[in-house]
Amino acid sequence: MAEQLDHLPFERQEPVTERRTRPGFGGVKAPDNKVAYAQQLLEQLETSSERAEEEVPGFDERLLLRLEVEGLDSGELEAIEGLQVVSQEDRSVVVLFADEKGRAEFESRLSILAKEGTPKRQDILFAIRSFGVWRPEERMGRALFLEGVPKTPSFVVDVELWPLDRHDQRTAMLKSFEDWCKTKGATVLDRVNQPTTTLVRVRLSATILDEVLKYRDVRMVELPPRMSIPLHLHRIALSDLPTVPQPPDGAPGIVVLDSGLTTAHPLLGPAVGEAQSFIAGKTHEDEHGHGTLVAGLALYGDVLSCASKKQFVPQLRLFSGRITDENNEGQDRFIENQVEEAVRYFVKEHRCRIFNVSVGDARRPYVGGHVGPWASILDTLARELDVLFIVSVGNFLGTDGGPADWLTEYPGYLLTDDARLIDPAPALNVLTIGSLARHDLSQAAARNPNVVDHLPIARAGQPSPFSRSGPTIRQAIKPELVEYGGNWFVDVRAKGRPRGEFELGETSTNRAFVGGNLLASDSGTSFAAPKVAHLAGQLLRSYPHASANLLRALIVVHAEVPEASRKLFEAKFKGKKGKKGKKDEVENLRRVTGYGRPDLERTLTSTEQRVALVAEASIGENKHHFYEVPIPEDFIGPRKRRLRQVRVGLAHMPLVRKSRLEYRGSEFSFQVVHAPSLDDVARMFRKTPKDEREDIEGEIITFLPSKLARNRGTVQAATWTLKETPRWLPQEKLFVVVTRQVRNWALGEVEEEPYALVVVLEDATHQEARLYSQLRAKLRVRPRQRLRT
């Protein structure tokens, strides 16, 4: 076994240069007939004002307008006094409040244009395609639209109000809506009042719902979450275990936010730090079983391996926050409130930094637009508290319309809208985990090899048949990772729905252990996520001062898509020729498997043949940072064909704002280039007058995924694979350029933002290579380089 070594720190070089901005598209094109265009908009503005009178009034007298725009940053609308952008729903739809002055200003400028004049900021008027109102049908959430209004006399809905930035306005809006509900006889059960999300859970009738759908301040009405946690226990006997010790002093804590914990379980009890319930009237005990299964995997990682060795030695401390009841529901409170309360409690009381969330809202698949409220709250908490959330993608159990044949339609159905990841999995500042199949042989097939009744849907190393797919907002890669979570098989004689969640599932700790069966098994993405949480805990144990950014970057950069998954999607798109077929194959594989399955040993330690260089820094608005990657002599020579890799990982946690389509306040990216010196690289990336600029050719070295594909996410990784030593080595040097681009709405909000960078060099063929020793020596003697002046 190779000697295990700590990863090596390295520093960026000076200077810090300003980001070069790319030229725009030349503004908004003026209409051919300005007079007719202005008259049409004036008529629409008048009609919208009349229709607004049919709405239930909001907390103030402002008019709510829905604008179709083109080629305009939504914030520019606020250049007209009296207008407040409320939300950008997609690239073309902006919702705003207009007071009497703002409405009059619109009319005045349009009237000037209608008389062939030139109004102030006419480019804003040219960008407006239409005026309208936010209609009742646009206020219906996906689940409410698909499932319809419940038939019971009263029922519960979640009402999302407009995400106003100002606290006083948001509070006034919330109070006004709650007071209105009381006058109508509706019962307010819970509320969320956050900068990113304003929610009210209400029990009401169908008649009141009709009025809510016309209420000015309502963005969306949705049915409450339906938790995606199917659970079927299958007992596995285990005996003659040695006594389970307590974790070592100072062991990092992992918090499982789930259905509670059976703290008396003999494999878990010695490691339990604290279990708390955040549901009124409920204890911390797991009445459902899901939380105890998840907890065992979070604590031990591969429970099946521990069982086969009959060795259960916890290295981490286990905490539990109960957020669902015995039916996996959140009762009358918003689960967003329970999660926030639990996270803040365990951070404050126990300094916990890793949280596993294996529950999600099956009624809210992400099909575009804004992320859900739960996701936005996790993004905000992760950034504020520097904690790492590990979130499962959710389970796809099929729909009334299919799949008609699970075997033949696999894996294609995983790419449909119904199988998209569910809230809170689309969150950007978390790690989202999909599922892989580990087993593909049922017990009956194992007992009798001649039996062909039980056909596995997935083979080992392929995506589980219930795993959901991405991407998330702005096409960012999700899930980032996959882990083993179970499989299903189809009984071809019995037909019907797939089976095998017990037999082909993942083994973990059993809530009902009193009968003597300490372990159970089940299938679901719920059981893939805690294995990554366990890895994060082990990483924090080795590097206790690592930020959540560094944890994410290290885990993702050491992930690899299983070969079985690659071959599956290659076969699926075999009939499509050329670049289009290959592009579909790669993109769809990434939608289901992300960057792949993480490797525990590689993530935790370096070796002489594989070295990870790690850096943490903060960068200003619209700036570049430069890192020279020292290349060891043994990486260059001997000059013969052999497999080598350079991997780069980057992670950051941007400020988010749910009211904006550009949800992230900033976008980070990295680019890998080679050049004779730091001066040459800095010159390429400096901000200069257009006539003095040098061309940036893009990424000179072929890293996959490409910069465009990876930089939409907040954790990114790419790999350069080489078999021959390039001609420019060792004459030129290798540099990583980290860039931060800040969105217009976030300028001035966060002057400097932290990030983590990881660079891995590996020689997979030359067993005598001394990369680690050579790199350590280079880093010890190298001073920080500065740009020559």
Residue 577 has pLDDT above 60, yes or no: no
Q: Name the amino acid, one letter, at 753.
A: E
For the chain, the first-to-last Cα distance in angstroms comes to: 49
The Cα-based distances of 553 to 105, 525, 652, 709 in angstroms read 49, 22, 9, 17
Residue 26 in this model has a pLDDT that exceeds 60: no
pLDDT at 237: 55
Please report which residue ranges of 351-442 form alpha helices under DSSP H: 373-385, 406-409
Is 551 strand, coil or helix? helix
Higher pLDDT, 446 or 669: 669
The amino acid at 673: V
Q: Tell me how far apart the alpha carbons of residues 36 and 68 are, in angstroms, rounded to a whole number.
A: 17
> Is residue 695 scored above 50 in pLDDT?
yes
What is the pLDDT, as a whole number, of residue 20?
Answer: 66
Q: What digits encode the pLDDT tens for the residues 470-486? A: 999 999 999 999 999 99
Tell me the average pLDDT across 742-755. 93
Contacts of residue 479, Cβ cutoff 8 Å, sequence gap at least 6 = 393, 421, 425, 432, 433, 434, 468, 470, 592, 593, 594
Overall average pLDDT of the 288-315 stretch: 95
The DSSP string of 378-402 is: HHHHHHHHT-EEEEE--B---BTTB
- The predicted model gives 324-353 an average pLDDT of 90
Q: Is the pLDDT of residue 300 over 90?
A: yes
Q: How far apart are CA 559 and CA 719, in angstroms?
A: 11
CB atoms within 10 A of CB 763: 21
Across the chain, what does the average pLDDT equal?
91
Q: What are phi and psi of 22, to 5 degrees?
A: -85, 150
447 confidence band (pLDDT: 50, 70, 90): low
- pLDDT tens digit string along 499-542? 878 889 999 999 988 877 899 999 999 999 999 999 999 999 99
Kindly report which listed range (374-388, 396-410, 453-467) carries the lowest average pLDDT score: 396-410
Tokens of 601: 């040993």
For residue 14, what pLDDT band results from cuts at 50, 70 and 90? Answer: confident
Contact 612, 649 (CB under 8 A): no
pLDDT at 24: 42
Would you say the pTM of this structure is higher than 0.85? yes
Strands across the sheet containing 623-629: 13-18, 623-629, 733-742, 666-675
Q: Is the pLDDT of residue 648 over 80?
A: yes
As a whole number, mean pLDDT of residues 185-195 equals: 94
Name beta bridge partners: 642: none
The yes-or-no verdict on residue 595 having pLDDT over 60 is yes
Asked if the model's pLDDT at residue 465 lies above 70, the reply is yes
Nearest to 32 by CA among 126, 147, 141: 126
* Confidence category of residue 688, pLDDT binned at 50, 70, 90: low
**Closest Cα partner for 740 from 761, 719, 757?**
757
Label residue 458 exposed, middle or buried (CB < 10 Å: 0-12, 13-18, 19+).
buried
pLDDT of residue 315: 98
Query: Over 60: is that where the pLDDT of 784 sits?
Result: no
Kindly state the tokens that stand for 374: 């739960």
The predicted-structure confidence for 558-573, as pLDDT tens digits, reads as follows: 999 999 999 999 988 7
Give the model confidence (pLDDT) of 358-375 as tens digits: 999 999 999 999 999 999
What's the mean pLDDT in 482-501?
A: 86
Q: How far apart are the C-alpha atoms of 559 and 651, rounded to whole Å? A: 14
What pLDDT score was predicted for residue 685? 85
The first and second tokens of residue 650, run together, are 């980057």
Mean pLDDT to the nearest integer, 734-759: 95
Q: What value, to the nearest 5°, has the Cα angle with vertex 703 and ends 697 and 706?
A: 75
Query: Using an 8 Å Cβ cutoff, are 479 and 265 in contact?
Result: no
Give the bridge partners for 623, in sequence order.
18, 740
Higher pLDDT, 677 or 382: 382
Q: What is the 3-state secondary structure (H, E, C) of 335-348?
A: HHHHHHHHHHHHHH
- The predicted model gives 722-734 an average pLDDT of 89
Other residues' Cβ atoms within 10 Å of the Cβ of residue 341 = 15
CB 655 within 8 A of CB 749: yes
Percentage of the chain lying above the pLDDT 70 cut: 92
- φ/ψ of 45, rounded to 5, equals -65, -40
